Structure 1
Amino acid sequence: MIEVKARGLTFDVHEGGPEDGEPVLLLHGFPQDSREFDLILPRLHEAGLRTYAMDQRGCSPGARPADVSAYTLTAVAADAIAVLDALGVDSAHLVGHDWGAQVGWQLAARHPDRVRTLTAISVPHPRALMLALRVRPSQKARLAYFEVFRRPFAERMLLAQHALALRLMLRPIGMRAEQYVAAMREPGRLTGGLNWYRAYDSSQVASLGVVTVPTTYVWSDKDGVVGLTAALRTRDWVRADYQLVAMRGVSHWVPEQAPRELADAVLARIGV
């Protein structure tokens, strides 16, 4: 693990693989951290790729600002760009899950010169999701938790009864959930993660345009967050080589529940 100073903050970045390999930036979601990619990293390294798994804002101990306004998508996307700059990486392949996928869509649409390819996991193009929210009541129901996470009591709720709610969320990944539950007891860690939800505003994605870099979207049919409509309509927002990889019997937690299949999708997108 290395510490990367960027934008007045310090980010923990876990690097691995051949030093001369093509760079891959991996962006985690909530309530996880960069360890969610541990099961796919060996395959990427064997393929000759240089990986940088970044603990994002709110997760890295040196990057937990107190103000909710510091956690907008604009801010966290700028973090990723700044970390690439600090690493001396002009452009990278992006792999993002959950909120990390949201950041990936932002970067691919707004900074295509910094993105070689995008593999977005679980979260579709935001405009496709907005469409699904309008036309599918079931999609709105799937995202009901979002408003709960924005409330002041969310920390207490998630940690109550020995973090029962967190454990139930992460039940599909078994004992791997315990490392994230333990981490959420660090000062400011859980609040930092929840502040992504609190800072979210639909205006941040309403103007997001099409993606012009080669893209794979990985969706799983047991995902309780994203339904089929948003998954299928993501194709409308990519003007480049595109593939939808649909996984059967897999939940939202793809990197840890289906690491072999995900690694296959990432390597196919990168082309190694």
Structure 2
Amino acid sequence: MTLQAYGKIAHRHVEVNGVRLHVAEQGEGPLVLLLHGFPESWYSWRHQFAPLAEAGYRVVAVDQRGYARSEQPASVDAYTLLHLVGDASALIGALGEERAVLVGHDWGAPVAWTTATLRPDLVRGVAGLSVPPLPTFGPPPLAQARELYGEGFYQIYFQRPGVADAELAEDLHSTFRRMLFGGSGDRPGAERPETWTVPEGRTFRDTVPEPEKLPDWLSEADIEAFVADYAEHGEHAFTGGLNWYRNIDRNNELLAGLVGRVVEVPALYVAGDRDLVSAMISEEALGKLLDTMVPKLHRRVTLPGAGHWTQQERPAEVTAALLDFLRHLDG
């Protein structure tokens, strides 16, 4: 497929590691691979395509395994962090490239950080949005989360087979309205970030009420786009993404021997000051993490008033930070 440098976004499927993945791409030049989080898709990067392509980069956003228009392997244990790193690594080659800059948001950030750590030969630079690099690579063991946040902590709630799957798939429009608003910097009380916790006897949907009005950065057309991406999986629309959470303990077992490894390629970290992740890590601890884990950190960018959905809530600032980082990599 031939793409015009500044043409419209093109869509196709690429098979890697036996899994059929949907990719959206625009532009020509050095590869920038965009990795979304939960519960998103390639569409979460909609604002970054044109500016990065116009700046001379080949921009590719993938629906990661289990998500949106990509294939959902049936087995829960097919969603370990090593599988996801394998997908990102193989995708670079499947796109005909030797190296890429990885940009990951939310769950996409651990994929990007870990890929950069394990395969620095493939990664020119790495940017993490919202989630910083962790010594455990992905989220820490669930026992630790239980001790800190209780049984209702969302990562633990998501472990229950079929429960969150059914809740979230019941009404896709409502789910995306609730979650995107509920994790944003516009939600009530956002200036005091708190973790998502489900009280006993309640459902996850109860913790994220549906907004009467969407914030300015999110339109009904955006909601429709996410719904269209997820609709083909029916009642299992979110099962693939939830299976990432169901491998947290397995990831810690598989990657235990790698604890202590650091990200040795140039890096960028971007987060909103109203991000829910900030409720799980103190400012002091975050600073120490970045100092330890990313010795070649180019910049740390904090977005005032922004919540968890960085590249959607603050597209201009995120794009500017990425372009600055790319110029740094290109000398």
What is the TM-score normalised by the length of structure 2?
A: 0.73
Q: Structure 1's 115 and 243: CA in aligned 2 closer, same or farther, altered over 3 A?
A: same
Runs of 4+ in structure 1 off by over 6 angstroms are 128-131, 133-139
SS in 1 for 2:56: coil
SS in 2 for 1:225: helix
Report what 1:195 is aligned to: 243
- Tell me, yes or no, if the aligned pair for 1:61 and 1:189 is still in contact at 8 Å: no
Report what 1:250 is aligned to: 306
Q: Which amino acid aligns with 1:200?
A: I
Rounded Cα–Cα distance in structure 2 between residues aligned with 1:121 and 1:156: 28
1:44 aligns with 2:99: no
Alignment of 1:1-272 (within 5 A): 1-18=11-28, 21-59=29-67, 61-127=69-135, 140=149, 144-152=153-161, 153-160=163-170, 164-171=174-181, 172=184, 173-175=217-219, 176-187=222-233, 188-201=236-249, 202-204=252-254, 206=256, 207-208=258-259, 209-226=261-278, 227-229=281-283, 230-235=285-290, 236-271=292-327
Q: Structure 1's 239 and 134: CA in aligned 2 closer, same or farther, altered over 3 A?
A: farther
Deviation string 1:4-59 (CA, Å, 9 cap, x unpaired) is 121112111111112xx111111111100011101111110111111111111002
- Tell me, yes or no, if the aligned pair for 1:127 and 1:205 is still in contact at 8 Å: no
SS in 1 for 2:61: strand
- Displacement after TM superposition at 1:198 (Å): 0.9
- Displacement after TM superposition at 1:165 (Å): 4.7
Q: Structure 1's 212 and 120: CA in aligned 2 closer, same or farther, altered over 3 A?
A: same
Rounded Cα–Cα distance in structure 1 between residues aligned with 2:179 and 2:320: 26
Tell me whether 202-211 or 192-201 shows the greater mean CA deviation.
Answer: 202-211
- Tell me, yes or no, if the aligned pair for 1:170 and 1:177 is still in contact at 8 Å: no
How many residues get paired? 268
Rounded Cα–Cα distance in structure 2 between residues aligned with 1:196 and 1:33: 14
RMSD over aligned CA atoms reads: 2.7
Q: Which amino acid aligns with 2:243?
A: N
What is the TM-score normalised by the length of structure 1?
A: 0.88
Gaps of 5+ in 1: none
Q: Structure 1's 47 and 138: CA in aligned 2 closer, same or farther, altered over 3 A?
A: farther
**Rg larger for:** 2
- Tell me, yes or no, if the aligned pair for 1:11 and 1:60 is still in contact at 8 Å: no
- Tell me, yes or no, if the aligned pair for 1:26 and 1:94 is still in contact at 8 Å: yes
Give the helix-richer structure, 1 or 2. Answer: 1
Tell me whether 215-224 or 178-187 shows the greater mean CA deviation.
Answer: 178-187
Q: Structure 1's 159 and 8: CA in aligned 2 closer, same or farther, altered over 3 A?
A: closer
Q: Structure 1's 65 and 162: CA in aligned 2 closer, same or farther, altered over 3 A?
A: closer
Q: Structure 1's 16 and 162: CA in aligned 2 closer, same or farther, altered over 3 A?
A: closer
Rounded Cα–Cα distance in structure 1 between residues aligned with 2:143 and 2:70: 39
- Displacement after TM superposition at 1:258 (Å): 0.3
Rounded Cα–Cα distance in structure 2 between residues aligned with 1:62 and 1:177: 19
Rounded Cα–Cα distance in structure 2 between residues aligned with 1:124 and 1:116: 18
Q: Which amino acid aligns with 2:157?
A: V
Tell me whether 53-62 or 226-235 shows the greater mean CA deviation.
Answer: 226-235
- Tell me, yes or no, if the aligned pair for 1:27 and 1:95 is still in contact at 8 Å: yes
